[in-house]
C-alpha cells in the first residue's frame, strides 16, 4: 500500500466518519423531536382522561336524576356492585407469577370485591324482580 493510497483511504474514512457524525446528529434531533411529540401526546392523554371525567360527571348527573324515586334502593345496591370494578386493581396485583405480599393483598381485594359484585347484582335482581304491575 503506498502512502498516497493510504492517505486517500484515510481521507475517505474521515469523510465517512464526518458523514456518520452528521447522520448521528440528525437522528438524535429526530429522536428528540419524537420525544417532544410523545410528551405532547402524553399531556393530551391526561387531557383526554380529564375530558372523559368531565363528560362522565354530566352523564352521571343526568342518568341518576332520571332514576325513578321508587327505584332508589336498587340504585344504591347496583352502584355498590359497579363500584367494585375496582377489582381491576386487585386482579393486576394478584396476577404476577411470583408469590409475594402484594399478591396476597391482590387476592384479598379480589375476594372482597367479588362478594360485592355477586351480592350487589343478585340483591338488585331480587329487588327488581318484586316490582310488578297491576294485572
Partner 1 sequence: MSAQLTGFAYLASSVLFIMALKGLSSPETARQGNRYGIIGMVIAIGTTLADPSVVSFELIIAGLVIGGAAGTIIAKKIEMTALPQLVAAFHSLVGLAAVFVGIGAFYNPEAYGIGTFGAINTGSIIELSLGLAIGAITFSGSIIAFAKLQGLMSGNPITFKFQHMLNAIIAACIVMLVITLVGGQTEGVFWSLAILSFAIGFLIIVPIGGADMPVVVSMLNSYSGWAAAGIGFTLSNPALIITGALVGSSGAILSYIMCKGMNRSIVNVLLGGFGGDTAAAGGASADTGDKNAKAGAAADAAFLMQNASKVIIVPGYGMAVAQAQHALREMCDILKAEGVEVAYAIHPVAGRMPGHMNVLLAEGNVPYDEVFELEEINHEFATADVAYVIGANDTTNPVAKTDPSSPIAGMPILDVEKAGTVLFVKRSLSPGYAGVDNPLFYSDNTLMLYGDAKKMTEEIVQALG
49 versus 122: smaller Cβ distance to its own copies: 49
Residue 18's Cβ-side half-sphere holds a number of Cα atoms within 13 Å equal to 6
Q: What cell numbers appear for 67 in the block?
A: 332514576
Q: What cell numbers appear for 98 in the block?
A: 411470583
Alpha helices in the chain (DSSP H): 3-65, 72-83, 87-94, 101-130
13 versus 91: smaller Cβ distance to its own copies: 13
Q: Which of residues 28-47 bind its own copies (CB under 8 A)?
A: 28, 30-31, 34-35, 37-38, 41-42, 44-45
Stretch that binds its own copies, among 60-68, 70-78, 80-88, 98-106 (CB under 8 A): 60-68
Q: Does 85 engage in binding with its own copies (CB under 8 A)? A: no
Q: Does 7 engage in binding with its own copies (CB under 8 A)? A: yes
Q: How far is CA 30 from CA 23, 90, 101, in A?
A: 10, 40, 43
Q: Does 111 engage in binding with its own copies (CB under 8 A)? A: no
Amino acid at each position: 500500500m503506498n502512502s498516497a493510497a493510504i492517505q486517500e483511504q484515510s481521507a475517505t474514512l474521515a469523510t465517512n466518519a464526518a458523514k456518520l457524525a452528521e447522520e448521528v446528529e440528525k437522528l438524535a434531533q429526530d429522536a428528540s423531536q419524537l420525544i417532544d411529540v410523545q410528551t405532547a401526546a402524553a399531556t393530551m392523554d391526561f387531557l383526554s382522561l380529564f375530558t372523559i371525567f368531565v363528560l362522565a360527571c354530566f352523564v352521571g348527573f343526568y342518568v341518576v336524576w332520571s332514576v325513578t324515586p321508587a327505584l332508589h334502593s336498587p340504585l344504591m345496591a347496583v352502584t355498590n356492585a359497579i363500584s367494585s370494578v375496582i377489582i381491576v386493581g386487585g386482579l393486576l396485583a394478584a396476577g404476577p407469577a411470583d408469590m409475594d405480599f402484594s399478591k396476597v393483598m391482590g387476592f384479598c381485594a379480589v375476594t372482597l370485591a367479588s362478594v360485592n359484585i355477586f351480592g350487589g347484582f343478585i340483591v338488585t335482581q331480587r329487588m327488581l324482580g318484586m316490582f310488578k304491575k297491576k294485572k
